[in-house]
Structure 1
Amino acid sequence: MTRRLPDLEAWAIFAKVAEHASFSRAARELGLSDPTVSKAIGRIETRLGVTLIARTSRRVSLTDAGRAALTRAARILSEGEAIEEEAGEQAAVPRGRVRVSAPLSFGIGYLGATLPGFLAAYPEIVVDFALSDRKVDLVAEGFDLALRVATLDDSSMLSRRLSTVRLLLVGAPSYFERHGRPVCPANLVAHRALGYSGSASRGVWRFSHPTAGEETAEPTFCVWSDNVDLMMPALLAGQGLAIQPEFMVWRELREGRLVTAMPDWSVDPLGLHLVMPASPLRPLRVQVLIDYLARELAHTPWARR
């Protein structure tokens, strides 16, 4: 047998009628019509099969059953009011925990720098970061938000694109001194490479040219890793070429420790996205973090709108 949910609204209305000993005064305080209040009392009386309120033309009084029920009904009304008051305060002052998933290298390189300002502005929010290059299931794993450097393909999520992330073919000057500089994808077959194993097309690099079109290359890979930080020492030591996101190498390029190769050829860029579960409502603590990260990450040296 399926149990019906209790009619909590009707019990709260009953408590208010009992408080004022008046249907009309209760209706005014609750912002309801007199018939709505009367029907609510009628619903629970019919459901219980007892009379809770004795009605006469001059007065309203509780029956024995009504007096027995009043304490718990008043508690339902009081608890409901407390819940709404507390929820309203939370909406006005962001507080609570926000769980965020982000790529490991990007999180260490950029998210940590945003924390001092955010924590100072929102001292009652706890930010719980999970850094991994694994693509998490936000809903199943209980995340409020994810930062992804990717071409998005999950239409079930809401997303906010923050910037374009260029992918650059780079190498150390010492590597080019020893092995020469490739000028087109066909040259890469003779070169050593450091590969990101999280790529969708492992072992194959794809390039495009404004007039020559698209070409692929399969260099000889000497290192594979699912984390681009691990490859940086070998890359800087001139042990191979790598396709790296600009946010990983912009400092090295500026300082001349790395240089780009094949500037006429490009790799399809990625986007930096804030991704969140599809829901029409979002807690304020999550929304303020989204807005804060969007502002902070829009002004990084490599960010391109």
Structure 2
Amino acid sequence: MHSLVSMRVFCLVAELKSFATAAQRLRISPAMASKHVMQLEKRLGTRLLNRTSRRVSLSESGVLYFEQARQMLDSLDEVEAAVSNATVVPHGTLRLTAPVWMANAMFAGVLANYQARYPDVRLDVDLGGRMVNLVEEGFDLALRATGAPDEALIARPITKVAFHMVGAPAYLDRAGRPTKPADLAGRSLLHYALYPGESFSFAGEHGTETVKLNPVLRSGNETLLHMAALEGMGLAFLPKWLVAEDIAAGRLEHVMPGQVLFEGKLFAVYPSRKYLSAKVRTFIDFVAADRRMR
């Protein structure tokens, strides 16, 4: 029994969590699919899949083997396509991690359009807000807003991301609308936990001005800060994509719109390896070309 074929069968069973569905897609019997996986487990000397009458799941060893095998098969497909001048159709599961604030209608539209163009790709998106280890945790790709991407990874710039200062009309009616940096001193701040301090520097009439705000809420979750801003709890610095609709609808106001405190870049970040799978390459190209990301 060919080990490479068995590896492909195992990976598809792991992705679909079903021997029957994987067998149907591969046009083999479920018994043959099971035989391939058992042969692989016998050769490796470890159980890769936990099987019950209702579900199939990866064992601890299976998680490690699946991620390495999937990357190897993707790279092999790319090499064979390059040699034969054939076009590889993107397929499989694309595991993506991105910032919490990308849980918005615009990015959902980008995902929907990508999946419509490449229906054989299943999207597994993590918006947990933590800095994941792409290799160890088996992610294909990360979208990260940063000024200094990890040098151990490949990073392709996608677009600029501006963070605007916003506040609800109710809060601004109560506290006043700042027109210059000095007006911000002591204002209620919805503080993003990854920003190290409570003082912020702005370009004022007489050069750089630094003011200290009053953090009334601190969180590393931009969604919570967004909701608190809508409730009139204070001022927040949030990505334009997250607040654009609220500003247009009047639920939030752009405070001192001439001031952009943060303007970083959104990068597509992926492990440094020679052959990039079709699903990763097409996703990066698709996102970079989408006008909504500008």
User: TM-score, structure 2 length as denominator?
Assistant: 0.65
Select between 83-92 and 260-269 the one with higher mean Cα deviation: 83-92
Q: How far, CA to CA, are the matches of 2:149 and 2:156 in structure 1?
A: 13
Measured against aligned partners, the alpha-carbon deviations of 1:238-285 in whole angstroms (never above 9, x if no partner) come to 221111111111111112222122334331311122111222321112
8 Å Cα contact 1:91/1:284 also seen in 2: no
Distance across 2 between alignment mates of 1:85 and 1:249: 40
Amino acid at match of 1:193: L
State the shift of 1:91 in Å: 5.9
Deviations 1:198-244 (A, max 9, x none): 22x232323234x5333322211111111121123331232211111
| Structure with larger Rg | 1
What residue number does 2:135 align with?
Answer: 139
User: How has the CA–CA distance of structure 1 residues 217 and 255 changed in structure 2, closer, same or farther, with 3 Å as cutoff?
Assistant: same
Cα–Cα, structure 1 residues 85 and 171, in superposed 2: closer, same or farther, change >3 Å?
closer
From 244, 258, 266, give the equivalent of 2:260.
266
Deviation at 1:147, TM superposition (A): 0.7
Partner of 1:229 in structure 2?
Answer: 223
Distance 2:288 2:209 in 1: 35
- Match of 2:19? none
Q: How far is the alpha carbon of 1:87 from its aligned partner?
A: 5.0
Contact conserved, 1:208 with 1:267, CA < 8 A, in 2? no
Query: What residue is the counterpart of 1:205 in the other structure?
Result: 200
Match of 1:285 in 2: 279
Partner of residue 98 from structure 1, selected from 80, 90, 94: 94
Aligned: 1:184 with 2:145: no
Deviation at 1:140, TM superposition (A): 2.5
Distance 2:167 2:160 in 1: 22
**What is the match of residue 156 of structure 1?**
152
Worse overlay, 154-163 or 103-112: 103-112
Q: Which one-letter code corresponds to 1:273 in the other structure? A: F
For 1:278 and 1:86, the matched residues in 2 are separated by 16
- Identity over the aligned pairs, expressed in percent? 32
Structure 1 vs Structure 2 CA RMSD: 2.6
Residue identity opposite 1:185 in structure 2: P
Change (3 A) 1:111 1:253: closer
Contact 1:225–1:231 (8 Å) recurs in 2: yes
Counterpart residue number, 2:31:
none
Displacement of 1:106 in angstroms is 0.3
Distance 1:278 1:84 in 2: 17
Counterpart CA distance in 1 for 2:79 and 2:257 is 58
Structure 1 CA distance, aligned partners of 2:146 and 2:187?
26
Deviation of the 1:85 alpha carbon:
11
